[in-house]
Amino acid sequence: MGDVEVPDELPCEKCGEMTAYNGLIGARLSCGYCGTPRPHTMRGATGCGGVIFMIFFVVAILLVLINGDESILIIFPIFFLMFLILFARVVIVGLKMKREAKKKAVQEKNLNQE
């Protein structure tokens, strides 16, 4: 495995012009063309969901070791709610991304017609 090449410039997400990039998503380098303070952002999850589940399972294991098997009556509903919330978050983010893609397609179609 070799070193991964990091580009010096990436397109701004707002105006599309090539702007300076230092290898960090969400870095504080603003776009020199449109002035966007964060031209390179990462959309979607950043790993917080995984950390929450990890903390939950560590606490769950400790509860089972301390209280025994009856602690499942407490742990399972909490896990189920966490899973439903995470699933709803994924669905909502997916719908937002789909809506943004449709808006962008309509804008591009309108630009091509002009």
**Low-confidence winner among 41-45, 60-64, 85-89, 99-103 (lowest mean pLDDT):** 41-45
- DSSP conformation letters of 48-102: HHHHHHHHHHHHHHHHHHHH-GGGHHHHHHHHHHHHHHHHHHHHHHHHHHHHHHH
State in Å, rounded, how far the first CA of the chain is from the last one.
48
Q: Which two tokens stand for residue 32?
A: 């020199």
Q: Identify whether residues 70 and 110 lie together within a single domain.
A: yes
Q: Identify whether residues 55 and 89 lie together within a single domain.
A: yes
Q: Identify whether residues 35 and 77 lie together within a single domain.
A: no
Tens of pLDDT along 49-62? 677 778 888 988 88
Q: Identify whether residues 14 and 36 lie together within a single domain.
A: yes
Structural domain range at position 71: 45-114
Q: Residue 48's pLDDT is what?
A: 66
Task: Indicate the number of domains in the chain.
Answer: 2
Q: Identify whether residues 86 and 70 lie together within a single domain.
A: yes
Instruction: In whole angstroms, give the CA distance from residue 27 to residue 21.
Output: 8
Q: Identify whether residues 56 and 37 lie together within a single domain.
A: no
Q: Identify whether residues 19 and 54 lie together within a single domain.
A: no
Instruction: In whole angstroms, give the CA distance from residue 108 to residue 56.
Output: 45
Q: Identify whether residues 49 and 99 lie together within a single domain.
A: yes
Q: Identify whether residues 10 and 50 lie together within a single domain.
A: no
Q: Identify whether residues 112 and 66 lie together within a single domain.
A: yes
Q: Identify whether residues 77 and 109 lie together within a single domain.
A: yes
What distance separates the 2 farthest-apart alpha carbons in the chain? 70
- The structure's pTM equals 0.46
Helix axis angle for 48-67 and 72-113, nearest 10°, is 170
Q: Identify whether residues 91 and 111 lie together within a single domain.
A: yes
